[in-house]
Amino acid sequence: MGVLNVTPDSFSDGGRYLDQGAAVAHGLALVAEGAAVVDVGGESTRPGAEPVDVDEERRRVVPVIEALAPHVRVSVDTRHAAVAEAALAAGATLVNDVSASLHEVVAAAGRGVGWVAMHMQGDPRTMQEAPRYDDVVSEVRDFLVARATVAASAGVEEVWVDPGIGFGKTDEHNLALLAHLDTLVATGFPVVVGTSRKGFLGRLLASSDGTDAVGTDDRLEGSIATATWAMWQGAGMVRAHDVRATVHAARVVAGEIER
């Protein structure tokens, strides 16, 4: 799943694709690099991000989805029902829902439309202030299984679950969720994981004196290492900014040999 943020403020590519022409061109480049899905988002959910007006979010994503949908499966990265509905009308067939609450919109859209339920503690503005769990792995799993079960009973045929790396989690929580990804895979719901360029990678790669977390443009190796781990553990999809490198890693994990 290639990331396409049509936003001024996303944490790693904010402002690069706010222009519609640039966004569509980048989406097509992701397809050429091997993305099976392009995930179009019009609201940053980075820690501390301010919410975006729904009309503005819709205005950002709809034309880009219309342009890309004939070429690739498009998902819409949104927390808002009105944006999800407009995106589905424009040709998206997957709702990537970081609020894990839009299953009814997806059920109403009928066959062929899927839903990603992602776990988040709190909301983006405040989620990193003091994340707390007794047992992060089982709490995230239980939450996702409950949401996925409700969606499946409402008639959603394709339901993905995502532990929401970085969404209301400390670095230790993120690492525990990755270390125990098999717990989520064992639920039987297909798993999506997004680690690409995230802050915990920057901190893991910081210099040994603990200063200077590695910047967003210098987290490729960490992103590929964690994506590879996730695929190896059985994740069915990884969300990535650097699609070419991630597709190469996926092909190696799958043991594909072209003759």
Please list the active-site residues: 198, 239
* Rounded alpha-carbon distances, angstroms, from residue 189 to 78, 144, 155, 208: 21, 9, 15, 39
Could you tell me the two tokens for 185? 């895979």
Min separation Cβ 134 and ligand HH2, Å: 23
Is 17 near ligand HH2 (CB under 6 A)? Answer: no
φ, ψ for residue 42 (rounded to 5)? -120, 10
Among 44, 78, 121, 226, which residue interacts with ligand HH2 (rule: CB under 6 A)?
A: 44
Among 5, 223, 226, 246, which residue interacts with ligand HH2 (rule: CB under 6 A)?
A: 5
Is 246 near ligand HH2 (CB under 6 A)? Answer: no
Which ranges in 154-219 belong to alpha helices (H)?
Answer: 171-179, 181-185, 199-204
Q: Could you tell me which stretch among 10-18, 50-58, 141-149, 205-213 binds ligand HH2 (CB under 6 A)? A: 10-18
Min separation Cβ 12 and ligand HH2, Å: 5
What is the Cα–Cα distance from 240 to 3, expressed in whole angstroms? Answer: 6
**Residue 50 near residue 84 (C-beta atoms within 8 A):** no
Is 223 near ligand HH2 (CB under 6 A)? Answer: no
Region class of 110: left (phi > 0), else alpha (psi between -120 and 50), else beta: left
Is 162 near ligand HH2 (CB under 6 A)? Answer: yes
Among 90, 98, 140, 201, which residue interacts with ligand HH2 (rule: CB under 6 A)?
A: 98
Among 26, 79, 88, 96, which residue interacts with ligand HH2 (rule: CB under 6 A)?
A: 96
Binders of ligand HH2 among 47-76, rule CB under 6 A?
none
Is 242 near ligand HH2 (CB under 6 A)? Answer: no
Q: What crossing angle do the helices spanning 81-89 and 54-68 adopt, rounded to 10°? A: 20
Place of tokens 């270390």: 179
When CB distances to ligand HH2 are compared, the closest residue is: 194
Nearer to ligand HH2 (CB atom), residue 80 or residue 258: 80
φ, ψ for residue 87 (rounded to 5)? -65, -40
Place of tokens 């424009």: 90
The residue among 58, 138, 155, 41 whose CA lies nearest residue 99 is: 41
Using CB under 6 A as the criterion, which residues of the chain lie in contact with ligand HH2 when the complex forms? 3, 5, 7, 10-12, 41, 44-46, 77, 96, 98, 116, 118, 162, 164-165, 192, 194, 239
